[in-house]
Amino acid sequence: MAFPLSAPRGRTARRALVALAGAAGILLATVPASAAPTNPATATEAAELIAARGHDLEALAEEFNEARENLAAQQAAAQAAQVEVERATAVLAEAQQSVRGVARSAYTGSGLNSFQALMISGSADEFVNRMSTLQMVAGHQNELLTVAADANAVAVRAQAELQASAAEAQRQYDAVSGQKVELERQIGEYRAIHDRLSAEEQRAVAAAAATAHASGAAHGSESAGSERASRGERTEPLAAASAPVVADGQAAQVAIDTAMAQRGKPYVWAAGGPKAFDCSGLTQYAFKAAGINLPHSSRMQSQMGRSVARGDLQPGDLVFFYSPVSHVGIYIGNGQMVHAPTSGDVVKVAPVDAVGGYAGARRIAA
């Protein structure tokens, strides 16, 4: 009879606790501080604060995603440990019953005991052999009982450790979730201030423009033409992205095509599609269509595949931003990527350098 549960299960549970503690350190180190809101004096200042808190919210979404991945893994491990405890308990009960059966047979005479062995043995050697057999059977049963008892104890300890890991993962999940409410409140305040200041500034700009129009119409036409040209220069790289993107491999091609098909769908905190996405939710969704499973976490994704130098980027590579990593997009060539930017925005194509804080790239699929 075999008992597969042994010490490694306990070591696995302890490794889970250590890994979870490390993840907790990363999460707590990167959760944005809830600074008291300031009072922006202009719409520009308010917009800057909205953008800053929007980035904080995006980073927090990625921390939430990682906490959610850890929670799911620890809950699954705890459930598996429960199944193992039930199996080990059943094996222990079976071993105990077997030992009791051997003892009962010897006591009632239904089995071969030492007196019977003596009576039916034709010689001293035969008697010794029969007694050795009896002792071997008893010893084997006791050994099975000891192994089963040890396995059961290991399973119970592993279950307790994994349940503790799951509880810690739940605590991290709840803590990160609580940060979201405060950031959204601040964004709402800044947006209200921005809208009020913007309306006031727009009225002032309109009045100034009306005054300037009477004395500088020609200059205004020239400025408008210059502005149109400037807009044309700015939008040209994005227009080029409308051309078909060709990847070197089938999986990368499917991932790119899937991500590009999501353009225009809104960024939603911790969303993984199909109607809305956050940054790692988009990349997870795109690569899943190509048969590649990624965790819903930009930091976790940044540890997969193989590292790619900036100069060696190919369409389909994942590009990462900030330290620690809290944003990801899919490179599509020509210095551009498709990504889900931040709260209030939509999935779209943008230059890789538009985000800032470039942190590296990984090649997940050929």
**Stronger pLDDT, 270 or 44, i.e. the higher one:** 270
Q: How far apart are CA 150 and CA 252, in angstroms?
A: 49
Q: Look up 279 and say whether it is catalytic.
A: yes
pLDDT of residue 239: 38
Query: What secondary structure does DSSP assign to 162-221, as a single string?
Result: HHHHHHHHHHHHHHHHHHHHHHHHHHHHHHHHHHHHHHHHHHHHHHHHHHHHHH-HHHHH
Q: How far apart are CA 144 and CA 361, in angstroms?
A: 54
Q: Render pLDDT for 87-126 as a digit per residue (tens, 0 to 9).
A: 878 777 776 776 666 555 554 444 444 545 445 445 555 5
Q: Which residue has the tokens 């990167």?
A: 30
Reduced to 3 states (helix: H, G, I; strand: E, B; else coil), residue 150 is helix
Contact 20, 171 (CB under 8 A): no
Please choose, from the candidates 59, 85, 64, 72, the residue with its C-alpha nearest in 3D space to the C-alpha of residue 16. Answer: 72
Residue 144 one-letter amino acid: L
Does residue 253 carry a pLDDT above 60?
Answer: yes
Which one of the listed residues 55, 194, 279, 296 is annotated catalytic?
A: 279
Domains of the chain plus CATH, in order, are 43-196 (1.10.287.620), 244-363 (3.90.1720.10)
Residue 53 one-letter amino acid: R
Which one of the listed residues 55, 194, 296, 339 is annotated catalytic?
A: 339
φ, ψ at 72 (rounded to 5°) = -60, -40
Q: Look up 194 and say whether it is catalytic.
A: no
Label residue 136 exposed, middle or buried (CB < 10 Å: 0-12, 13-18, 19+): exposed
Name the pTM for this structure. Answer: 0.56
Contact 168, 20 (CB under 8 A): yes
Please choose, from the candidates 327, 307, 326, 264, the residue with its C-alpha nearest in 3D space to the C-alpha of residue 317. Answer: 307
User: Average model confidence (pLDDT) for the chain?
Assistant: 74
* Selection from 136-145, 180-189, 280-289 with the highest mean pLDDT: 280-289
- Torsional sign, CA 281, 283, 289, 295: negative
